Amino acid sequence: MMRDFSLDWPSPLDPPALLSELDAEKPVFRVRMPSGDTGYLVTRYDDVVRVLSDPVFSRAWMFRPGAPRYSDRPIGLPDSLLNLDPPEHGRLRRAVSRAFTPRRVEAMRAGVEEVAEDLLDRMEAAGGPADLVEAFCAPLPVSVICRLFGVPEADRPALRKWIETALSLTAHSAEESFDALMRLHGYFTDLGAARRAEPGDDLLSTLITAPDRRDELTDAELVGVAGTIIGAGFETTVHQLAISAYVLLRDPERYAGLRREPGGVPAAVEELLRMTPAVHGTARIATEDVEVGGERVPAGSMVLAWTAAANRDPGAFSGATALDLGRSRNDHLTFGHGPHFCLGAGLARVELRAGLAALLRRFPDLRLAADPAELRWRSGMVAFGPHELPVRW
């Protein structure tokens, strides 16, 4: 039976009915996407891992003429890091990975904590109630990633708006998304030219100065990489931080317990990433006839790797549908798997841990200032999250 499918959820703690029905369904089945095209939804952990790691499933083929689409437009540009296949993808990823080594990420921790404290100082000084998204969850990752790239503070609001629009699946028109993408392209073209003329100690300058000439980026590649890193670097983290705060605030006992035991924050972050992710899945195109989960998938078909479902697979996690903030082993797929595993996962973890730890310490009596049923949740976007999160203390 064909099922209509959307990556949108009613709320983080209220997943779509389809997710709870999966144990009664086969793990791979045909769905109709918002575009009207059909595809194959993959839900089991091991099958999702295979789709994300087997080269028979391609990102680049999503840009081929006539390729099926989730919505009426592909996300990003065909030559971006996000949408390339090996071996082209490997060269770009190798160049970018120099900027996200564990040592570099760890060196950023103090700066992230400083930004978090400053934002909470401002929120406290302004007094409650406050919108936690605008006061804290958004400006924290925006400030961190823009500092890394040397983006002037005055440019950040426009940059955030362009990225949000460019990453629309269905929330904005295709024309609006393309216009935002072109504005981002122009901005980073100018910024890249400025860094080539006068390199600094920012991330863009690091990407320009490759130690191996084979890994040097062209101007077009530099622009694409910068846009991808900044887009993924704060759009997803903004909403993951907001979702995490919301889930804790919905259960004051959980919030209080984590405040009493701050050493549990890292495990709590991983469990929130598993159970209430901001990104629910990704897509590939099968480049040849292939069998997945007992289902024959013809060449040229879209395959939707539903990572949010894989994260709740009882075959991969004990107590898979329960939120266990103390879970000791947590190999979730929220950051992906395989060649396209999120390069910024380490930095995202630093931001999420520092953000939640600071919030718990500074605002022990924080609580929601709105009925959860009245909160508005984003739809038609790559990253899911609340439009606003009213809080008081």
Please say if the pLDDT value at position 278 is more than 90: yes
Please say if the pLDDT value at position 4 is more than 90: yes
Would you state the structure tokens that stand for residue 307, as one six-digit string? 């990572």
Please say if the pLDDT value at position 169 is more than 80: no
| Residues contacting 20, CB < 8 A, separation 6+ | none
Residue range 223-238: mean pLDDT, rounded: 80
Please say if the pLDDT value at position 200 is more than 60: yes
Q: Which of 284, 258, 276 is nearest to 332 (CA)?
A: 276
Counting the structural domains of the chain, the total is: 1
Kind and range of the H or E run holding 183: helix 174-197
Residues 320/313, Cβ–Cβ less than 8 Å: yes
Q: How confident is the model at residue 228 (pLDDT cuts 50, 70, 90)?
A: confident
pLDDT digits (tens, 9 = 90+) for 324-373: 999 999 999 999 999 999 989 999 999 999 999 999 999 999 999 999 99
More confident residue, 168 or 380: 380
pLDDT digits (tens, 9 = 90+) for 294-324: 999 999 999 999 999 999 999 999 999 999 9
Q: What is the pLDDT of residue 210?
A: 60
Percent of the chain at pLDDT exceeding 90: 60
In angstroms, the CA 268 to CA 15 distance is: 19
pLDDT digits (tens, 9 = 90+) for 98-137: 778 899 899 999 999 999 999 999 999 999 899 999 999 9
Q: What is the pLDDT of residue 148?
A: 83
More confident residue, 103 or 248: 248
Q: What is the pLDDT of residue 203?
A: 80
Q: What is the pLDDT of residue 153?
A: 85
| Residues contacting 287, CB < 8 A, separation 6+ | 55, 56, 57, 58, 61, 299
Please say if the pLDDT value at position 68 is more than 90: yes
More confident residue, 195 or 31: 31
Q: CATH no. for residue 285?
A: 1.10.630.10
Residue range 267-282: mean pLDDT, rounded: 97
Residue range 228-250: mean pLDDT, rounded: 89
Q: What is the pLDDT of residue 287?
A: 98
Residue range 66-75: mean pLDDT, rounded: 86
Kind and range of the H or E run holding 62: none
Q: What is the pLDDT of residue 214?
A: 60
More confident residue, 219 or 69: 69
Q: How confident is the model at residue 197 (pLDDT cuts 50, 70, 90)?
A: confident
For 84, the domain range is 3-392
Please say if the pLDDT value at position 230 is more than 60: yes
Q: How confident is the model at residue 37 (pLDDT cuts 50, 70, 90)?
A: very high
Q: What is the pLDDT of residue 272?
A: 98
> How many beta carbons lie within 10 A of that of residue 85, not counting itself?
17
pLDDT digits (tens, 9 = 90+) for 143-161: 888 888 888 888 888 888 8
Where do we find the tokens 């739809």?
A: 379
More confident residue, 292 or 26: 292
Q: Which of 274, 221, 222 is nearest to 247 (CA)?
A: 274
Would you state the structure tokens that stand for residue 203, as one six-digit string? 């991330």
pLDDT digits (tens, 9 = 90+) for 85-99: 998 898 888 888 877
Mean pLDDT, the chain, integer: 90
